[in-house]
Amino acid sequence: MERKNLALLCAGVVCFWLFALAVGTAQGAGLRVAIGGTGPAVQADAPAVLAGAPANSGLQLECRAAILMEPETGRVLYEKAPDERMPIASITKLMTLLLTFEAIRGGKLTLDTPVPVSEHAYHMGGSQIWLEPGEQFTLDEMLRAICVSSANDAAVAVAEFVGGSAPAFVNMMNVKARMLGMRDSRFCNPHGLPARDQYTTARDMLTLARAYLKTYPWALKFHNTHVLNHQGRVTWNKNPLLGQYPGADGLKTGWVNASGYNLIFTASRGEKRLLAVILGAPDVRVRGSEACRLLDAGFQVRDNQA
């Protein structure tokens, strides 16, 4: 009997150490999985999967970082390297828009307010709508140019007008980022062109996008504008999901060499809305297809839990 008890004890010790070893291996993996959508994310020895989905339904996206959330509850359904810092690119402009809408809400200006174009804005380069120094356009027109064309000249003109100067506006951007809890973001300009020490993460941009949509849901009318006709120059919205993915109505694209192709996007089905960020996709086609895959998987999870 004593030998039998000793054997059982030894077997129990072996099982315990095998379990501990397995847990340690899982915690060492690089991808993060949101478990049940509550509490902090934990490490897992598997591709990131959608919370509530079957264990074998791992979703592997072709991008450097991604995160998907139910904005109403804050429940994260998927994340991949969400805290990896990388250049922001034109998704920077979502913060520019947020601060502009705050100025409107505060009564400092209206959508009909004329916004002048400075020499600095004129010389921005990159994506633009070819504003001329001394021209004035309504704030409504400028905002549509930012949302549809990702116009750097319009973004700088608006930033200078709202903040008094571009540097003052950038300071407002960083103050707001800290207020929102964006701990891994730093802004150096209002447009997103490459700048030293300008960076963000997928999680931080999701935090920004969620606050933006919660406070200014009516701003989607700007992001959902499909075509911009500025003085005879026609520009189609750069968001690959508009008109292609059912319920997609925002938000912002971005690209620079150092980061790859970025996208902050949202779509709704009935009362259900999802909000997501993809950073570092290798090209435009992959960025759009992976965004669709992520939304499909997210809506499937929500439908299964309804």
Residues annotated as part of the active site: 90, 93, 150
Is there a contact between 104 and 113 (Cβ–Cβ < 8 Å)? no
End-to-end CA distance of the chain: 55
- Rounded-to-integer distance, Cα 217 and Cα 73, Å: 16
- Angstrom CA distances, 189 to 86, 185, 195, stand at 15, 12, 8
For 97, counting Cβ atoms within 10 Å of its Cβ (0-12 exposed, 13-18 middle, 19+ buried), the class is buried
Is there a contact between 80 and 279 (Cβ–Cβ < 8 Å)? no
Element containing residue 141 per DSSP (H, E):
helix 139-149
